[in-house]
Structure 1
């Protein structure tokens, strides 16, 4: 088996192998824009932020979420102490509460309910004691009514888990890494990758934070780092799972093959994995902590102002360390875990991006400006002197990984130094991203084309003609349930060639060619301070697309990442 493949057959039992079932993959993504496309006017609107008017550091206001599961038989309004605890630790808390509750009472003094912290954080019914599965949720809730009492009562690291039969694909020598998971996803080493919901579950929230932290260590360019993190997001089969439900599905599986193709690799809390293993299910799991971004659930004991402090103290004392260990938790923190942001916005930003992302099939034609001005010097994020073209090459190669396996893509250059030269040149013919071009996959051909990108000296910019030709070419490709997009990246304005035309003439031709039955959107990215944003805004508006200004060439990678997200969060 090559390093770039997962086992087409997986162990069904000791020494046995079974054929994998046919399982159609969801539309894993499809970037409407690899070589640019920023989020319009300022990026992603967070579901947890108020109308987009708060700053990224402001405390969020969460959207409505489903109600929680309660361990009490019925509401008890006269209870002296109400407790909301993360589902995995709620049984432990209930056992402790039982030592304080006289038997036979329908409404005991202490009532415990199991509730995901993402639910409690936005619930109007505030418990007297809140034991979320991470201190991160205290930051998210930004509720000053709660005060932490003592150190956390338990700890549980996040592990990357999967059926034992594919452990070798993501863990080498007992170690794994988020960046390795990204690489494996990019190279299609895994049949399936799932992720818990980052807005409801601790495993999801902490994992998304860890992924972004891990990619940030791989480069000084924050935009490139974000592109690498989003590459994993674009490959997820399931991105809003409940860890408990994932494990339940694993437990019901009768063979490893089905489990691998249904759920595959996913992050989970150590305690949850331990509880699963103790049930001795048919499908055994293996879990490994990532070395490049260790994160851990801690379980703070927090008390609401006005609550019964004496009874709360008795409850905390009743939660003994032996009981914590017996329940599968740790009593001391793990060394080397990541520090969490103190800002709710910084913590929730990536989680919101992941949660709002939509899987779409795309047909994308990339139009890249190859005029002489792309050779102009600029300063990159590290302070090094570079050129617009070199920054495009670096960012573009990373961005090419964002496209999902169901994407149809092609790439043209536009820019000509010859008087009678063509308005554009086809670099990669349109076709399936995993289809073959000259003996290699179209994705690899795209990366090679971007990597070899060299603008022509003294070349003009036939921007308008290239856009007209691109839109016309893609209109013939339009099909149902698929977004068809022309992505334009330019650092200048139309001119310097025989194809030059007034803006009014261009817009008249562009609008005349529109066909509501065959929509083709233009995503226009102005790269650098000299880009004609007026023209780009007009062409995008005429086609129902977007125009984005990347004023600082050194911010090109961030622009690509934001544009990628914009394409996948637009209703």
Structure 2
């Protein structure tokens, strides 16, 4: 029986045909040779590579079409599919019929994809990832670097629907409510999402969510940022959380993952099929671009065998390539075939997730000119409302974000219009977070003077450009209630020209500008935002300040495409 291990580095080799023939000729040394062969096989098992269907001694490889592999095949398989693949390969032909050898190395799909994206030449003949998204992602990442991933995506051999896994009680309630991906907006239950950067079912779920929301980017962004706070590393972690949660909780995963978890953990989780988008993850065979014709013929034989092995696929929780379940189910929804998601769009959904959840590095540039003291309500001034909104915005940021606070009016330090209040620092530092909150609550004590808008914006963008940190969302959050009043500084055209010089589309420093009240020069804010690939908001009513500010902060990662 073939066994697949997880360590991909072989330290031994399978016995050869010449060794077998020599053993037949040298009777007295046969026992010693058998011991050597057993030791070699043991080393192979430790190394994580399993030999399946070794060519018989003194025999040649079988011809194509007789159920055997015609050439040795090196296979890299995701852990989720390795068991089913091994079972099929183990039953493919007979060692006495001259079948060639297949080796199966177990490796996470994200790891294989990352290597291919980085330009590593495939060390396999065929790769069987747990989703067609991974080769699409690897190819697109390679293209960004001006390279080409040397792989060819072949036929789909299996599928598995994206589901919500829950306890029986929670599942019954969700099915009665006809819950779907769009239900996340109302948050009827807590949802646990495996890390989309390593678990393909999560990026498929993100694409399904986009579809269910009909392109509502703002709602999608809000849901994604909510899901990001509860992300766990693996599907098993998500399933364990749903199983043990004291309150109604679902794990966003696949039907196959629920099947495997219940079998391994003796759990009793139920797969709930979303009522709005019926999505599925497809499992393809991916060949190396340099594979020989003989190898491709062997791969085709193995691929066809897996696609035809419906009973084996069902045993490991997979459906057929067409998406139909191998066995009937009491649930009409479960019986229906699921539609495999588009792999390219799924890869794009992953990139969207990475942008939205990237750590932020934000400079909050706050107007403290005299007009901010004007009444906004019967009891509160504009600066009072902004202070409350600023505290909420700070609390909405994740702990892996960094933030600084500047204020501006006119001639705060000599002829300089801007002033640093809190230097850049991580919100993971409780002292820094508290300093930011204290600074927000103390803005009313800094109010006075005119509005030195343009010089302050240029200084803030220049600072963020000079201290730019790759891999993070670097931005300036501009809050103002007026228009530029510094006649000695830059005018708008000069500011836009300077911003154009500083702009780097590949490494942008976006300005997200928020105008408070009807006196704001909203046209100028929109031009500033456009020059930096940012966005401009306006809160016409005083009570809109909190909503607009928190909305702008939480959507910082998708600018300028939030909708």
Q: Provide the TM-score with structure 2 as the length reference.
A: 0.52
Secondary structure in 1 matching 2:130: coil
Change (3 A) 1:486 1:424: farther
Higher helix share: 2
- 1:239-250 equivalent positions in 2, closer than 5 A: 239-247=231-239, 249=240
What's the counterpart of residue 319 of structure 2?
330
Name 2:222's counterpart in structure 1: 228
Query: Residue 86 of structure 1 aligns with which residue?
Result: 78
Contact 1:132 1:299 in 2 (8 A): yes
Is residue 2:262 matched to residue 1:290? Answer: no
| C-alpha separation in 2, matches of 1:160 and 1:168 | 12
8 Å Cα contact 1:198/1:355 also seen in 2: no
The Cα shift of 1:427 comes to: 2.8
- Cα distance, 1:179 vs structure 2: 2.7
Alpha-carbon distance in 2 for matches of 1:348, 1:280: 29
- The offset of 1:528, in angstroms, is 12
How far 1:267 sits from its partner (Å)? 0.9
- Give the C-alpha shift of residue 166 in structure 1: 3.5
Equivalence for 1:352: 354
Between the aligned partners of 2:132 and 2:227, the Cα distance in structure 1 is 24
Matched, 1:426 2:393: no
Name stretches of at least 5 consecutive residues in structure 2 with no aligned partner. Answer: 1-5, 11-43, 52-70, 140-147, 324-335, 397-406, 440-446, 461-473, 485-490, 503-508, 513-527, 538-547
| Alignment of 1:139 onto 2:136 | yes
The question of whether the paired residues in 1 share the 8 Å contact of 2:356 and 2:557 is answered with: no
Please say if 1:550 is aligned against 2:534: no
Give the drift of 1:462.
9.0
- Once the two structures are superposed, the pairs formed by residues 552-571 of structure 1 within 5 Å of their partners are 556=537, 560-563=553-556
Whether 2:262 is the aligned partner of 1:277: answer: yes
Q: Does the residue aligned with 2:76 lie in a helix, a strand or coil?
A: strand
Normalised to the residue count of structure 1, the TM-score between the two structures is 0.52
Q: Distance in 2 between matches of 1:324 and 1:505?
A: 65
Q: Deviations over 1:218-277 (max 9, x none)?
A: x4xx3x24433334235x32x242113444x46xx9xx6xx1159942211101212333
Structure 1 pair 277–370 and aligned structure 2 pair: CA distance change class (3 A): farther
Residue in 2 that maps onto 1:317: 304
3-state SS in 2 of match to 1:198: coil
- Name the CA distance, whole Å, in 2 between partners of 1:327 and 1:77: 19
> Does residue 268 of structure 1 match 2:275?
no
Structure 2 counterpart of 1:205: 203
- Sort the Cα spacing of 1:501 and 1:349 in 2 relative to 1 into closer, same or farther, 3 A: closer
* Aligned counterparts of 1:337 and 1:529: Cα–Cα separation in 2: 52
CA distance in 1, matches of 2:8, 2:260: 21
Displacement of 1:310: 2.5
User: Is the Cα–Cα contact under 8 Å of residues 365 and 486 in structure 1 kept in the other structure?
Assistant: no
Matched, 1:175 2:213: no
Task: State the alpha-carbon separation in 2 of the partners of residues 368 and 338 from structure 1.
Answer: 50
Deviation track 1:70-125 (CA, whole Å, cap 9, x = no partner) reads: 99542669992111222222111111222348769xxx810112322211112334
Q: Distance in 2 between matches of 1:562 and 1:261?
A: 31
What is the correspondence of 1:96-107 to structure 2 with a 5 Å cutoff? 96-100=88-92
Alpha-carbon contact 1:246-1:263 (below 8 Å) kept: no
C-alpha distance in structure 1 between counterparts of 2:251 and 2:104, whole Å:
29
Quick one: structure 1 residues 502 and 72, their matched pair in 2 at CA, closer, same or farther if it must change by over 3 Å? same
Shift of 1:205: 1.9
Q: Residue 152 of structure 2: SS of its match in structure 1?
A: strand
The aligned runs of 1:64-75 (5 Å cut-off) are 73-74=46-47
SS in 2 for 1:266: strand
Mapped to 2, the partners of 1:423 and 1:431 lie a distance apart of 13
**CA contact 1:366–1:487 (8 Å) conserved in 2:** no
Check the 8 A contact 2:408/2:419 in 1, yes or no: no
Select which of 153, 159, 166 maps to 2:157. 153
Partner residue of 2:284? 300
Larger relative contact order (CA 8 Å, sep ≥ 6): 1
Going from structure 1 to structure 2, the CA distance change for 1:289 and 1:502 (only over 3 Å counts) comes to closer
- Work out the CA distance in 1 between the residues paired with 2:268 and 2:390: 37
**Distance change >3 Å, CA 284–CA 525, structure 1 → 2:** same
C-alpha separation in 2, matches of 1:465 and 1:172:
63
2:192 match: 194
Q: Is 1:500 paired with 2:450? A: yes
SS in 2 for 1:199: coil
Instruction: Specify the SS of the correspondent of 1:203.
Output: helix
1:297–1:429 distance in 2 versus 1, CA, 3 Å: same
Alignment root-mean-square deviation, CA: 5.6
Deviations 1:274-299 (A, max 9, x none): 23334573x52122122334321111
- Tell me how far apart the structure 1 counterparts of residues 310 and 483 of structure 2 sit (CA, whole Å): 65
SS of the residue corresponding to residue 213 of structure 2 reads: helix
**Equivalents in 2 of 1:352, 1:80: separation in Å?**
39
How many residues are paired up?
381
Residue 109 in 1 paired to residue 101 in 2? yes
Residue 386 (structure 1) aligns with: none
